[in-house]
């Protein structure tokens, strides 16, 4: 189900990501069946929706680590996952991407060497995420918020053009969340493109553009102001629920299938399947 509009030769210079006709199956479940979307350059695009709606699968497709059945994903003008994107695209997963027994600085030096980033980047990213004074501490000694910032620092090595962040603020208190979003805004203002996933709807208001997902579908491609105008709701949770109800009425069969899948997932996936950040948020510890 390839779509010529997603080829690298036609990718707009103003577009960081083009997805055309994307089909992804996980086990017996069809996650995406012909998904199409565009993500602009130089902005923060929020990928928002409930757990299990396909956010992580979409991000994995964008960075080129997800097996797809059909369709195309073009990133910065090239097919997702090509070698040329090694320094241009960064991905911070929900699971910790750093080594507990190394110091912050040792982690950054190691990953800088791994991707071929200049060593001076270590001091730069430490400063940008507010950890310059903590470089000598081991990751194991850090709080959850500090560890999240170390993972973000790793993603920022090499000054990537596209940074993909999978629920980077989960489990953090409001102050730490605000500090991380300030970092995201500085990166975008400097020209980077950020894709940030979340199931916390008030974070939608911090984004430039919003992709709201439900059951593997994009139910809205809008802006914070557009979301409020379209739904008549100032509260982002109320606005999202209004869109969900509208989408459910328009796609009753897909909604019924999504509910069955959610019940199966909730009945078979427990605490051991959660990421470290999610376990910490649930009060189960991080290690």
Q: Three-state DSSP class for 10?
A: coil
The rounded average pLDDT for each run of 10 residues, N- to C-terminus, in the chain (287 residues) is 38 82 92 96 94 92 95 95 89 87 97 92 92 95 86 92 92 84 92 92 91 92 92 87 86 62 49 45 43
Task: Tell how strand 193-198 and strand 29-40 pair up.
Answer: unpaired
The whole-model pTM stands at 0.82
Say what the pLDDT of residue 60 is: 96
DSSP characters over 79-147: ETT-GGGTTTEEEE-SS--S-TTSBHHHHHHHHHHHHT--THHHHHHHHHTT-GGGTTSBGGGS-HHHH
Q: Specify the pLDDT at position 65.
A: 94
Name the one residue in this structure whose structure tokens are 């699968």: 57
CB count, 10 Å around CB of 140?
Answer: 13
Instruction: Enumerate residues 6+ apart whose C-beta is below 8 A from 83.
Output: none
Q: DSSP class of residue 11?
A: -
Residues 6+ apart with CB under 8 A from 238: 231
pLDDT at 9 (0 to 100): 39
DSSP secondary structure code for residue 70 in this structure: E
């Amino acid at each position: 189900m390839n779509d010529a509009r997603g080829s690298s030769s036609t990718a707009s210079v103003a577009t960081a990501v083009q997805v055309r006709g994307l089909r992804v199956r996980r086990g017996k479940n069809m996650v995406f069946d012909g998904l199409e979307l565009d993500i602009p350059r130089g902005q923060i695009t929020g990928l928002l929706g409930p757990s299990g709606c396909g956010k992580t699968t979409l991000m994995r497709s964008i960075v080129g680590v997800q097996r797809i059945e059909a369709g195309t994903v073009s990133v910065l003008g090239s097919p997702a996952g090509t070698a040329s994107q090694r320094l241009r695209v960064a991905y911070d997963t929900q699971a910790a991407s750093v080594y507990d027994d190394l110091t912050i600085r040792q982690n950054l030096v190691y990953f800088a060497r791994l991707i071929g980033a200049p060593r001076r980047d270590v001091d730069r990213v430490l400063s940008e995420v507010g950890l310059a004074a903590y470089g000598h501490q081991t990751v194991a000694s850090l709080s959850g918020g500090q560890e999240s910032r170390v993972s973000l620092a790793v993603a920022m090595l090499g000054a990537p053009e596209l940074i993909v962040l999978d629920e980077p603020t989960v489990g953090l208190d409001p102050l730490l969340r605000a500090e991380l979003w300030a970092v995201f805004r500085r990166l975008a203002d400097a020209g980077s493109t950020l894709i940030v996933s979340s199931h916390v709807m008030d974070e939608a208001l911090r984004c430039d553009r919003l992709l709201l997902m439900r059951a593997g579908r994009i139910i809205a491609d809008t802006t914070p102001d557009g979301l409020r105008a379209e739904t008549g709701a100032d509260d982002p949770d109320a606005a999202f629920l209004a869109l969900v109800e509208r989408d459910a009425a328009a796609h009753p069969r897909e909604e019924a299938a999504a509910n069955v899948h959610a019940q199966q997932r909730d009945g078979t996936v427990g605490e051991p399947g959660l990421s470290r950040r999610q376990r910490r948020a649930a009060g189960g510890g991080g290690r």
